[in-house]
Amino acid sequence: YKDYLTLAESYAKEPIEERIAFFRKIEREAIESEDNQFRFHSGVPLLQVQERI
């Protein structure tokens, strides 16, 4: 990923730190939040326990 950041810095006309922080926040929330459907980039699996009556 560092190669991509270096490439972005070379093309950017202004510092990219704010954009990195913006996307870091979004990615962190996606990774740490519960997800009821498992996918490649899912967050924490939401375990559902169904009671049998």
Could you read off the pLDDT of 4-52 as tens digits, one per residue?
999 999 999 999 999 999 999 998 988 888 777 767 766 777 765 555 6
pLDDT of residue 7: 96
pLDDT at 32: 83
Beta-bridge partners for 10: none
pTM value is 0.62
32's CB contacts (< 8 A; 6+ apart) are 43, 44
What is the distance in angstroms between the CA of the first residue and the CA of the last residue of the chain?
50
In this prediction, residue 35 carries a pLDDT of: 74
Where exactly are the structural domains of the chain?
Answer: 2-45
- What is the pLDDT, as a whole number, of residue 21? 97
Residue type at 14?
E
Length of the chain: 53
